[in-house]
Amino acid sequence: MNNDVLMMLQDPYTKDELQFSNGVLMNKISGRTFLYENGYYSFLEEGDLEGNNREYYGLYDIIAWCYNISTKIYFFFKFGNEYKVRSEYFKEISIKDGDKVLEISIGTGDNLPYLNGNSRFFGIDISKGMLKMAKKHLKKGKIPAYLFRCDAEKLPFKDNTFDVVYHVGGLNFFKDKQKAINEMIRVAKPGTKIMIAETKELVKNIHQRNPFFREYYQNTDVAYAPVNFVPQEMEDINIVNQGLFCYMTFRKPI
């Protein structure tokens, strides 16, 4: 592991420093280890998942193999091309060469090909299947990225680490939305613009009508801007509700 990446990490449960030896990350104090498997470091065991996090990670493991192609097909027939859809929300964030960019719930890695390729990408997800497919797609596209399996409410990164933090399309499924947003803010550098986007039509038109997935999505909000979970001290709060997405941005104070 690159030493500067190691210096960004911490035990998500205790905030203790980690050391790297023989391919394993270890908490220096507790001795707990975090293994590298299938192309990502895992900070999560099945017993750590609760509530919605436990319910939905299994679903995404099941659909991971077809998630990428199904969204591409949907975007093509509904909007003409995938770039048009993703550029709708990425116009709200600016990524410079060398920036450390964190995607919360990276899924199969579909967003990264549309971002500044001279950045340093980091992605987290709770689904093993999604991370496996993300590794495959990013390798095929020759896009280097560090992947981690962890809970969005317990990120394995130190405070004030990332230049860009964003999340697309999964906040409704988190067990604790407040903690997840607080974590996004914690790991962002002062002055960082954070973007959170939620899909509207995709949930309503595909998942809630699909007989295989309907039970998972029937009580899920279609989309909303999570403004009630954003601390009052955040700056430049902006909400946009158009097209496929309802999204908001805000800035961490300097």
Domains and CATH numbers, the chain: 1-37 (no CATH), 39-251 (3.40.50.150)
Give the per-residue pLDDT at 130. Answer: 92
Note the pLDDT tens digit of each residue in 64-87.
777 778 788 877 777 778 888 788
Please list the helix, strand and coil fractions of the chain in percent, rounded to the nearest 5, in that order.
35, 25, 40
User: Would the pLDDT of 203 be above 60?
Assistant: no
State yes or no: pLDDT of 172 exceeds 60.
yes
Would you give the end-to-end CA distance of the chain in angstroms? Answer: 31
Closest of 202, 195, 206 to residue 244, by C-alpha: 202
Cβ-based burial of 249 (10 A; exposed 0-12, middle 13-18, buried ≥19): buried
pLDDT tens, residue by residue, 121-160 = 999 999 999 999 999 999 999 999 999 999 999 999 999 9
- Rounded Cα–Cα distance for residues 72 and 80 (Å): 10
pTM attached to this predicted model: 0.86
Per-residue confidence at 54, pLDDT binned at 50, 70, 90? low
pLDDT at 173 > cutoff 60:
yes
pLDDT: is 211 or 87 the higher one? 87
Is 45 or 99 the better-scoring residue by pLDDT?
Answer: 99
Chain centroid offset of residue 214 CA: 23
Q: Which pLDDT band, with edges at 50, 70 and 90, does 222 fall under?
A: very low
The pLDDT value given to residue 201: 52
Quickly state the pLDDT bin for 50 (edges 50, 70, 90). low
Confidence of residue 223 (pLDDT cuts 50, 70, 90): very low
Q: Quickly tell me which residue has 């390729």 as its tokens.
A: 117
